[in-house]
Amino acid sequence: MSEIEVVISDSLLSVTSMFGHVAITVDWVAYTRAHSGYFTYHHADYMLRQRKIRSSIGYFLYVTYEEKQKIKKELERRMRENKPYSFMNNDCVTNVIEVLKVAGIEASDVRGFGATSPVALARRLTFSGRFIRKMSYPKHLDSPE
């Protein structure tokens, strides 16, 4: 059994993260989409960065080896293309939803409202039929705001 992790983080008091943030980890590499572009981090480094500023929850999903390879290939393609950021169709949430869809995992908001929030994505992942477990990554209380 293979698994991936979708990390959903709390919101921040900033325009760029007012609804939260989403990243996806495949084979210990965290892929994340920000306003300035795509970034990769070792999963442990990414979580240390996030935990300095906010809490997160990791949603672990079952994938086959072939599905995992499709996800990695799609993430790498998106990084190379580096299309301009758009809140409606090229942000952290939409990228994860679209990448999961490439592997046959439906995670979009079925209510058809257009943009999907990180909270709505979390709910969809839990009921995706692929959900294994979730892990809490609380904010370090001794970190500055």
Q: How is the chain split into domains, by residue range?
A: 2-137
- Report residue 6's pLDDT band, with 50, 70 and 90 as the boundaries: very high
CB atoms within 10 A of CB 145: 8
For residue 88, the model assigns a pLDDT of 75
**Average pLDDT value for the chain:** 87
Q: Could you read off the pLDDT of 59-107 as tens digits, one per residue?
A: 999 999 999 999 999 999 999 999 998 877 888 899 999 999 999 998 8
- Report residue 15's pLDDT band, with 50, 70 and 90 as the boundaries: very low
143 or 126: which carries more pLDDT confidence? 126
Instruction: Check pLDDT > 90 for residue 145.
Output: no
46 with 23: CB under 8 angstroms? yes
Sign of CA dihedral 81, 87, 91, 97: negative
Instruction: Check pLDDT > 80 for residue 14.
Output: no
For residue 116, the model assigns a pLDDT of 75
pTM of the model as a whole? 0.89
Instruction: Check pLDDT > 70 for residue 13.
Output: no
How many distinct helices (H) and strands (E) make up the chain? Answer: 4, 6
3-state SS, residue 65: helix
Pick the CATH number of 2-137 from 2.60.40.420, 3.10.50.40, 1.20.1250.20, 3.90.1720.10: 3.90.1720.10
